[in-house]
Each structure stands twice: as C-alpha cells, then as structure tokens.
Chains A and B, each alone.
Chain A
C-alpha cells in the first residue's frame, strides 16, 4: 500500500455531490503515502443506468477507463463502491473472448481484462498500522458496506457477502469500536429516492434505526450513494416515525482522516446534512 501508485478513478459523484469523499480520500492517501494519479480523461462508469439499457454499454464504458489505466501501467483504485463494482464487472466480463472482441470493436482498440481494480477501502486496509494522532476512542461505529462493495463475491473477490469485516478492522485500528450488526450489506434504496421515496425512507430507517438501537453513534460508509441516501432523508424519516435519529453518516476516509489529525473542516464534514460536529465535540474529537 504505502509507496505504491494507483491510477485514481474518482467517478462522477466524487466530482459532484460527494466532494467530501474525494477530498478526504486524497488527504489520507497523501498522509499514508499512497500515490494517486487521476486517470486523464476518465469517463462515467455507466453506474446502474448503462447496463440496464444495454449490457454492451455497461461493459464498454468502464472498459474505456480500464484501457486508460492499462496505458498508465497502474492498478486502478476508486473510492466509490458503484464504480469499483462496474470496473470489476467489466474486467470480469472481458475474460470472455467474444465479449472482449465486441468491446474492442466499440472502443476502437484492443482491451483485455488484465488491469486490477481495488476499491480504496481494500487498498487502505492492507496495512492497518496508521500513524494515528487522535485515536477515535469511545466512538461506536456501525460499518455499512452497502449492496455493491462486496457483491457478487464471484466478481468482487474482496470480502464476505453477508458479514464483511474489512472496514470493521480499519475502524477498530483507529481506536473506535465497530459494532457487530446484521445489516452491513443491506440495500439502502439509493437507486429510488425520486421514484419511490416511501420505499427509500423505509429501507434507510431500517438501517439507521437498527444501528442506533445497537448503540452506534454513527455509521461509516464507503459509497457516495449510501452516504447521501442515509444522510439526507433523516429529517423526513424522523417526522414520519416521530423518532429522533440524527445519526451522522461518515465516509470511512473522513474517520480515518480525523484519526490522522485532520480537522473536520479539512475533511469537509460541514457538508453533511446530519451534522456530525455535536457528536465529535461530545467525544472530544471535534
């Protein structure tokens, strides 16, 4: 990990709504001497939309980025769970020769499956001996992986589908306590906030309220969709259920950044809708 250089694929969300993920990821990588070279002229990975319209497009879009990284002769890392899922799926599908031929035709040059893709969570958990300046002692964290970071296992080849541990180990290494809970890879409904807000509220409520009942102070995520979806609906959900939630939703890179000594402002924590600062102050971390 340390000293290694990666072709950095931020993905669209990190250049927009999830800017704080991008900022915090770059900060911690810099501190940990993980070199990120952003892929020049990267394109959208297609996310969930492209593949649902055309399977070929769903492969070709990420394959384009695989090709760019191949030219850099670097492994890819991306903080976004959706991006890593699409990139890895493409690399997996390209093992099939017929698919590889078809995609090469579309892209105008040969493309193979040889580029490795590692989610940033995987990269940063390879060595857990962090130079910690402010241990997160007393903070109880529910690590939430979402649907796409570890599923399907045959493609992602990363962690257990039902009870993943990577983020839990990382959070524990920061001095915080990772609670054991059963909804780590539950769907939060992030694909449907506009079409079916009722459904999204139900799913998000299930996740947030269980974490809270089991004693978590906050939730850590590794996906811009999960983060925003759990973060922005809390007021409405509270109104629907007449229940106080107010559970801060962090990117794991932000918690890592706090432990490495960055300030909340440097980590863009003020960007979250569910204000995490009162919690951090209460725990002596603000």
Chain B
C-alpha cells in the first residue's frame, strides 16, 4: 500500500483568500492512504519545495498530491521537486484549486472549499493508481529552418548560423530582404534602410552555414520537435544560377514590360527580372505569366489556329554565359530539420476598400509604402518625389493615418504600430527633398512609444513643420489637378478642407497572403486576423504552442524594425536551445496497446492526428496496433476510439480516471 502525502498551497491569498485551507487539510487527513498532510504559503518557492522534499524523505511518502495552481503552471516544477527527493516524477498529481476553484468561485467561499476538497479527493484516488513512468532519449537533427527572408528571418538565420548550426532559409520571393528592402530611410535615426540591410543580406548569401532557397515555398511539414520533415517547392527560375554572372543584359533587353511589384506598380519591370539592384541572390527569374516565349509555347501546346505569337527568346540569344535554361522545372526538396522559425512578415491593407478615399481611382492618392519607393534613390523615380498622375512635384501633401487599422468597419480593430512613426519620417524626408513641401498629418492618436520616438515626432512638427490635425478624413475627391481632402479637426471641433497635390494613405499591416495556410500545415495557432499566436503573450513571446516552432517579426503582430530584429534573435536563441541539446527527452505519457485485447481493427489509426499508430505482426500471426512513442502526443483520441478497451494512456489510464470519478461520489 502506498503512502500518500497531500500538500495544500495558499498561493498567498490567491487560494487561501477563498478556500478554507484548514478544512481542506482536515478532510485530506481522512482520505484513503493519506499518511501526511501539510500546507504551504507558496509551494513553488524554494522554501516550499524544500518542505515537500523533506516531508517525502521523513514521512517515507511514496505518492504526492499538490493542491495548488494549474499543472500548466507548475507541474514541471513539482515533478523536479519530487524527483530530487528520490521519487519517480510521475508519482505526482496536481489538484488545481486555483484556476479551477479559488479564482472562479471567489464569491462563494463555502462552495469553493467544498470543491477544493473534492478536487483533492479525486487527485488522491488517481495518484494511488499512478505508476512510475520513464522518459526515453530521442535523437534530433541539428539543423534549423527559417521561413521568410525579411529582416526577422535574416536575423534569426544569421544568429543560428553564427552559433555554428546549419540553417535553411526559405523565401517565397526571388530575393531576400522583405519589406525593409522597399523602405527608403528608417525612423527615428533616418539611416538608409538598404545601407543597413544589404550587408546582412550579403552575409546570408555568403554564410557557409546557411542554405538560401529563394523563389521557394514550404509545402508541408511533418514530424515533431527535433525531427521535422519539410517539403519545399523550389520554383524554376529558368535561369541556371551556376552560369549566371548577374550582368543584367537579359532584363535590360527583355521587350515585355509589366508594373513592378517591388515598386508597387509605380514603375515597370521586364518579364525576366531581379526585383531590385541589390537583390540577393542577384540571379534573375523569368516570370512565367508574362514571358513571351512561354506564352508562345502555351499557344503551340493548345494547338490553336491562327497567327502564332512571337517566340522572342531575346534573353536566351543575348545571355553571354548562356544561362537561360528553358528545361528547368519546379522541384520538391525534402529536408530534415530540428527547429523551425516562422517569419512570414506582412502585407499592407488593400486601401481600395475605402470608397471615400476614391477606392484606388485617383492616381495621386498613394500608400505609405509607395511613397517609400518614390523617396528611395533606387526607386522608380530615383528619389524624386513626383505625382504619379503628371510627374510634377507635390507641394501640399496630406497624410491619412489608420487606413485599415483601428477601424472596426473594416474588421481591423488593432493598431498597426508603425504608421505614426513612418508618417513623421516621411514628412521629414519630404521637407528635406523639397523645402516648399507642406505636410498635413491627420491622426487619431500619435503612438510614439519607442526609444527616441516621441522626440522624432517633435522633429517632424518643429523642423519639418508638419501640421498635425486630430481627426479622420471623410472624403477625398479630385478637382482638376488638386485632391480635395475633407475631414474633421476634432480639437477645434470643425470641418477642415485641404486642397492637396498628393495624399498618402498610411495603410495598415496585415499578415502575408498564405500565412494561415502555412500555420495550418505547421499545426500552430493563428488569431482571427491570421497573425500567429504566441505560447504566452508575455512570457513566451517568440514560441508557438507547438514545441520546436518559433515565431518572429510581423507574422506575430505589427512591429517595427528594432522589434523584428529583437524577435529574430530571440527566436534564434529559443531554437538553439533545442538544437544544442545532445538529445531530446520523450514524454512518457503516451498511448499503449494491450496486445492481448487488440483485435487489429485500427480505429485508433484513423483517429490519430499524428500518424503515431503503426501495425505489427505478433508471433501468432495476428496483426495489431502499436504506438510510435516518439510521434504520440498523448492526446488520448485513440483511447476513446478503441472499441476493445485495448488502448490506454500512461498517466491518464482509464482505471485512474474511473477512480477519480468514483472518489467524487463516494
């Protein structure tokens, strides 16, 4: 017969303020097999843990119940405590009398005390049937995958690579650099975005520990922490990277011109292109949707009548090293990695949903990121800020904040975090470009919480003479060459109207297209907007709830560059903490098959979400189910699916759960 010790925690007043601890202790004294009962002000403190350890040794306890907070909080802590006293760590049961009891029943102390007693009673009945469980060591692949090659992903990849671990960096676009590569200058220091980003991009390309896969996408992820198997689709560039010298003749001579995505349609690009001059890798890609030769091939393949389109193939003829490779096709690569960092970044809100701002009809109503391209020396106008409609220099510029942020009408209640700052920055830059520019900034609140940010807003107001108007814009319409912007000055309490040359919409941040689908294949959670959900918003901000998968940057929430870089590094450290372990420890609370009862129906296999049920043939020729312990998550689905009561879950056996239920009514 086991000797059971019960420890009741006060948790300061968190539990003791509602639950009568003395009554719980008195009741516990009378429970079967309980030989020792004690209380503790804070069980998780060093003093509390020492008291538990000493009691186990002194009282020769064989099982322990700790009535305290949720096992999610401190089960791991207390398992270590009892192990230090020589007990098997799985001979412990937590009775959750805080989250499940005192916190939710603080208005009824008597009932809370009664419930606490019942919870302890159940835990005692269960722990009496606990068995010693033992962990196993499993191997791991000491290699990381980073999804997304923006600044967050670049930082994570470099930090892990510099720590000596191999990293695969997968980027969907033909180049890394992400949104930061599109920016002109960065707030609040006004250093040039590409000047600080490009060296990092080059470092990624040259790093011996980094395998860079651009124009590639993660298709599927299987496995578990330490042992993920990833399928990556490498899209065909139709350019042989080993031959290409990045001379640029191909894209200079390509006759097909289409609006450049990188410049948000403000300038053209060719059908064979690199998004921008400092692209990494600087290997052009052929845009299959627009290439004339591809169109010709498709026409021939359709077997249509009529005049064939031109074959073109100018790039092929002019390429000095003959790097154009029409035979190149998409490839699926399979890689094994131990940890994954998700840094899929953001896109901007589609402002054409705002009818009152012209719904995209007015060429001189542009977005903040379009203005970045106009300001940038490597942009479509080489840094000259001109109106898209007529190429003239705007003198009166109106900024509209919170376009697709803080607007529940658009389903976007959240703040996009960076717009207040980048509007101030752009107002300063516009003044530097042309002292005659007068900026007006319509705002709801000015959010400038970062280091040096408030001072920067002051600079926009005092040096760049930007006029800040608190209020929203009701209507923008074209009157000849001017855009009439009408809104409210809510501080003066009256309508305002400004005849502007250029209107800049501070479009909000939303998760990149495809982020939700990726999260689904990674089995990590995302919120209603598609932002990835952290394991804990405060204490585990760069971990997903799936072990071994970490998060960084604007995939989690709108963030600025310093925040993204910090998260990239933080996610790298968390991933390194996995990769640097000699081996991983498996959770012993997994399913187990009773071979004598299993009929081989494999209902368990169909129920299992983790592919953890294999089959095996016994010596008498019977085919039965067997659990792959390294894949099993201990969810228990197979147990409820099993018709023959052959499945059981270690640590949560049917007998243990039944004992809990019996204890309740006894």
Tell me whether A183 and B355 are in contact (CB under 8 A): no
A73 at the interface (CB under 8 A from B): no
Tell me whether B478 and A213 are in contact (CB under 8 A): no
- Please, how many angstroms separate the alpha-carbon atoms of A210 and B359 in the complex? 20
Give min CB distance, B482 to chain A, whole Å: 10
A182 at the interface (CB under 8 A from B): yes
User: Could you say which of A160, A180, A182, A213 contacts B475, with CB atoms under 8 Å apart?
Assistant: A182
User: Could you say which of B355, B359, B477 contacts A181, with CB atoms under 8 Å apart?
Assistant: B477
Q: In the complex, which residue of chain B has the Cβ closest to the Cβ of A180?
A: B361
A127 at the interface (CB under 8 A from B): no
Chain B residues in 8 Å Cβ range of A163:
355, 358-359, 361
- Please, how many angstroms separate the alpha-carbon atoms of A183 and B480 in the complex? 13
What mask results when residues 146 to 182 of chain A are scored 1 for a CB within 8 Å of chain B, else 0?
A: 0000000000000011110000000000000000111
Chain A residues in 8 Å Cβ range of B356:
162
Tell me whether B479 and A210 are in contact (CB under 8 A): yes
- Please, how many angstroms separate the alpha-carbon atoms of A182 and B473 in the complex? 14
> Which residues of B (463-491) have their CB < 8 Å from a CB of A?
475-480, 484
Closest 9 CB pairs of A and B: A182-B477, A162-B355, A162-B356, A182-B478, A210-B479, A161-B355, A163-B355, A160-B355, A183-B477
Q: In the complex, which residue of chain B has the Cβ closest to the Cβ of A161?
A: B355
Chain B residues in 8 Å Cβ range of A210:
477, 479
Tell me whether B480 and A213 are in contact (CB under 8 A): yes
Q: In the complex, which residue of chain B has the Cβ closest to the Cβ of A164?
A: B355
A-B contact count (CB 8 A): 29
- Please, how many angstroms separate the alpha-carbon atoms of A181 and B361 in the complex? 10
Sample of 29 A–B contacts (CB below 8 Å): A160-B355, A161-B355, A162-B355, A162-B356, A162-B358, A162-B359, A162-B475, A163-B355, A163-B358, A163-B359, A163-B361, A180-B361, A181-B477, A181-B478, A182-B358, A182-B475, A182-B476, A182-B477, A182-B478, A182-B479, A182-B484, A183-B477, A186-B475, A210-B477, A210-B479, A213-B479, A213-B480, A214-B479, A214-B480
Instruction: Identify which of A163, A180, A213 gathers the most chain B CB atoms within 10 Å of its CB.
Output: A163
Give min CB distance, A212 to chain B, whole Å: 11
Q: A163-B361, A210-B477 are in contact. List 6 more A-B contacts (CB 8 A).
A: A160-B355, A162-B355, A162-B356, A162-B358, A163-B359, A186-B475
- Please, how many angstroms separate the alpha-carbon atoms of A67 and B434 in the complex? 65
Chain A residues in 8 Å Cβ range of B478:
181-182
Chain A residues in 8 Å Cβ range of B359:
162-163
- Please, how many angstroms separate the alpha-carbon atoms of A213 and B356 in the complex? 21
Give min CB distance, A196 to chain B, whole Å: 15
What mask results when residues 170 to 212 of chain A are scored 1 for a CB within 8 Å of chain B, else 0?
A: 0000000000111100100000000000000000000000100
Chain B, interface residues (CB within 8 Å), range: 10 to 19
- Please, how many angstroms separate the alpha-carbon atoms of A214 and B484 in the complex? 14
- Please, how many angstroms separate the alpha-carbon atoms of A183 and B486 in the complex? 12
- Please, how many angstroms separate the alpha-carbon atoms of A186 and B475 in the complex? 10
Q: In the complex, which residue of chain B has the Cβ closest to the Cβ of A183?
A: B477
Chain B residues in 8 Å Cβ range of A182:
358, 475-479, 484
Give min CB distance, A240 to chain B, whole Å: 18
Give min CB distance, B248 to chain A, whole Å: 41
Give min CB distance, A170 to chain B, whole Å: 20
Give min CB distance, B364 to chain A, whole Å: 13
Give min CB distance, B399 to chain A, whole Å: 19
Give min CB distance, B41 to chain A, whole Å: 56
Chain B residues in 8 Å Cβ range of A161:
355
Chain B residues in 8 Å Cβ range of A183:
477
- Please, how many angstroms separate the alpha-carbon atoms of A212 and B157 in the complex? 60
- Please, how many angstroms separate the alpha-carbon atoms of A182 and B499 in the complex? 14
- Please, how many angstroms separate the alpha-carbon atoms of A183 and B356 in the complex? 10
- Please, how many angstroms separate the alpha-carbon atoms of A180 and B358 in the complex? 11
Give min CB distance, B410 to chain A, whole Å: 14
> Which residues of B (489-508) have their CB < 8 Å from a CB of A?
none
Give min CB distance, A27 to chain B, whole Å: 34
> Which residues of B (350-379) have their CB < 8 Å from a CB of A?
355-356, 358-359, 361
- Please, how many angstroms separate the alpha-carbon atoms of A179 and B57 in the complex? 91
Give min CB distance, A14 to chain B, whole Å: 30
- Please, how many angstroms separate the alpha-carbon atoms of A186 and B356 in the complex? 11
Instruction: Identify which of A160, A161, A210 gathers the most chain B CB atoms within 10 Å of its CB.
Output: A210
> Which residues of A (198-234) have their CB < 8 Å from a CB of B?
210, 213-214
Give min CB distance, A185 to chain B, whole Å: 9
Chain A residues in 8 Å Cβ range of B479:
182, 210, 213-214
Give min CB distance, A157 to chain B, whole Å: 15
Q: In the complex, which residue of chain B has the Cβ closest to the Cβ of A162?
A: B355
- Please, how many angstroms separate the alpha-carbon atoms of A181 and B477 in the complex? 7
- Please, how many angstroms separate the alpha-carbon atoms of A163 and B477 in the complex? 11
- Please, how many angstroms separate the alpha-carbon atoms of A180 and B478 in the complex? 9
Q: In the complex, which residue of chain A has the Cβ closest to the Cβ of B479?
A: A210
Give min CB distance, A38 to chain B, whole Å: 36
Chain A residues in 8 Å Cβ range of B355:
160-163
- Please, how many angstroms separate the alpha-carbon atoms of A160 and B355 in the complex? 8
- Please, how many angstroms separate the alpha-carbon atoms of A210 and B482 in the complex? 12
Give min CB distance, B473 to chain A, whole Å: 12
Give min CB distance, A183 to chain B, whole Å: 6
- Please, how many angstroms separate the alpha-carbon atoms of A244 and B208 in the complex? 76
Give min CB distance, B152 to chain A, whole Å: 37
Chain A residues in 8 Å Cβ range of B475:
162, 182, 186
- Please, how many angstroms separate the alpha-carbon atoms of A163 and B359 in the complex? 9
Give min CB distance, B193 to chain A, whole Å: 35
- Please, how many angstroms separate the alpha-carbon atoms of A162 and B475 in the complex? 9
Q: In the complex, which residue of chain A has the Cβ closest to the Cβ of B497?
A: A206
Give min CB distance, A182 to chain B, whole Å: 2
> Which residues of A (22-44) have their CB < 8 Å from a CB of B?
none
- Please, how many angstroms separate the alpha-carbon atoms of A210 and B483 in the complex? 12
Chain A residues in 8 Å Cβ range of B361:
163, 180
Chain B residues in 8 Å Cβ range of A180:
361
Chain B residues in 8 Å Cβ range of A214:
479-480
- Please, how many angstroms separate the alpha-carbon atoms of A79 and B46 in the complex? 82
- Please, how many angstroms separate the alpha-carbon atoms of A251 and B359 in the complex? 28
Chain A residues in 8 Å Cβ range of B358:
162-163, 182
- Please, how many angstroms separate the alpha-carbon atoms of A210 and B356 in the complex? 17
Give min CB distance, A49 to chain B, whole Å: 25
Q: In the complex, which residue of chain A has the Cβ closest to the Cβ of B478?
A: A182
- Please, how many angstroms separate the alpha-carbon atoms of A214 and B478 in the complex? 9
- Please, how many angstroms separate the alpha-carbon atoms of A180 and B359 in the complex? 13
Give min CB distance, B243 to chain A, whole Å: 51
Give min CB distance, B538 to chain A, whole Å: 39
- Please, how many angstroms separate the alpha-carbon atoms of A113 and B479 in the complex? 42
> Which residues of B (579-623) have their CB < 8 Å from a CB of A?
none
Chain A residues in 8 Å Cβ range of B476:
182
Chain A residues in 8 Å Cβ range of B477:
181-183, 210
Q: In the complex, which residue of chain A has the Cβ closest to the Cβ of B354?
A: A162
- Please, how many angstroms separate the alpha-carbon atoms of A210 and B480 in the complex? 9
- Please, how many angstroms separate the alpha-carbon atoms of A186 and B479 in the complex? 14
Give min CB distance, A180 to chain B, whole Å: 7
Give min CB distance, B235 to chain A, whole Å: 38
- Please, how many angstroms separate the alpha-carbon atoms of A10 and B235 in the complex? 64
Give min CB distance, B361 to chain A, whole Å: 7
- Please, how many angstroms separate the alpha-carbon atoms of A160 and B356 in the complex? 10
Give min CB distance, A163 to chain B, whole Å: 6
Give min CB distance, A61 to chain B, whole Å: 31
- Please, how many angstroms separate the alpha-carbon atoms of A183 and B476 in the complex? 9
- Please, how many angstroms separate the alpha-carbon atoms of A181 and B480 in the complex? 10
Chain B residues in 8 Å Cβ range of A162:
355-356, 358-359, 475
Give min CB distance, A210 to chain B, whole Å: 6
Chain A residues in 8 Å Cβ range of B484:
182
Instruction: Identify which of A162, A180, A181, A183 gathers the most chain B CB atoms within 10 Å of its CB.
Output: A162
Give min CB distance, A142 to chain B, whole Å: 12
